Amino acid sequence: MDNCVILDDDTSSIKVLSHYIEKTKSLKLVASFSDAIDGLNYLVDNRGKIDLLFLDIEMPEMNGFEILKHSQYDGALIIISTNNENAIAAFETNACFYLPKPFSYTQFLKGIEKRKDKETNIDPNSYSKDFIFVKDDRLYKKILFSDISYCEGKGDYISLKCKNKTYTIKSTISNFIDKLSGNPEFVQVHRSYVINLHYLTDFDSDTSVVDGKIIPIGAKYKEQLKSSVNFL
């Protein structure tokens, strides 16, 4: 059972998190703080004894990033915040997930699963239905889903074909589909391809043409594609 600590100046958020932790058998809440300084002192005094920290970023007196710096906390971390821009800054921490307020129990459990999978970076595309951020050299680039014509899976990597550039990212087709959050414009047509219907110009029983590229259609995906387009 993982020992959890909550540090958030929003008492209503603490109440929700406490309830979710209580519902989750693998977790145990050992302390919660609405005061940043009290929380910092607890982290310092109990270094090495905390398995999972739920940390708000925007707090009076000291923000979450400063708390991490001064406490030298090195356990599992889930960032919580009302400001989605903090998800990008959180890449510099050892956070395993980002929870945007308000969050559901389903989102909470997703963060716990990420912690179990030992993922050590926040994926900022997990909180938006309109865009994602991808790493391009040393920068994180914002990409609108509407600018992606198709996604091609290549083992442990995927390629995103966009208007002006193709990005190759260490990820999987299934992870990309998950980030789409049910976006109806995207359809998987093959185990290695997800297409944006806006860029689909032609298709038959075996192939499709998307943004000028011929893409195969897998047998088990044919009906899914047909049901996603309008016919006369």
pLDDT at 158: 93
Percent of the chain with pLDDT over 70: 89
Summarised one tens digit per residue, pLDDT across range 14-31 is: 999 999 999 999 999 999
Instruction: Supply the DSSP symbol for 119.
Output: -
Say if residue 125's pLDDT is above 50: no
Instruction: Provide the b/e sequence for 4-13 (b: ≥16 CB within 10 Å).
Output: bbbbbbbeeb
Confidence of residue 119 (pLDDT cuts 50, 70, 90): very low
Backbone angles phi and psi of 176, in degrees to 5: -65, -45
In this prediction, residues 185-214 reach a mean pLDDT of: 95
Q: Would you say 56 and 63 are in contact if contact means Cβ atoms under 8 Å apart? A: no
pLDDT at 87: 61
Q: Where are the domains of the chain?
A: 2-126, 144-226
CATH class for the domain made up of 2-126 = alpha beta
- Give me the chain's average pLDDT, please: 86
Confidence of residue 121 (pLDDT cuts 50, 70, 90): very low
Summarised one tens digit per residue, pLDDT across range 52-95 is: 999 998 888 889 889 988 998 888 889 888 876 666 666 556 67
Alpha helices in the chain (DSSP H): 11-23, 36-45, 64-71, 86-89, 105-116, 173-179, 222-226
Length of the chain: 232
Question: Which CATH architecture best describes the domain 144-226?
Answer: Beta Barrel (2.40)
Say if residue 8's pLDDT is above 90: yes
Summarised one tens digit per residue, pLDDT across range 143-155 is: 889 999 999 998 8
pTM beyond cutoff 0.75:
no
* Radius of gyration for the alpha carbons in the chain, expressed in angstroms and rounded: 21
Alpha helices in 85-140 (DSSP H): 86-89, 105-116
Instruction: Provide the b/e sequence for 65-94 (b: ≥16 CB within 10 Å).
Output: bebbeebebebbbbbbbeeeebbebbeebe
114 CB-near residues (< 8 Å, 6+ apart)? 96, 97
Say if residue 124's pLDDT is above 60: no
pLDDT at 126: 45
Query: Which among 203, 202, 185 is positioned nearest to 194, based on CA atoms?
Result: 185
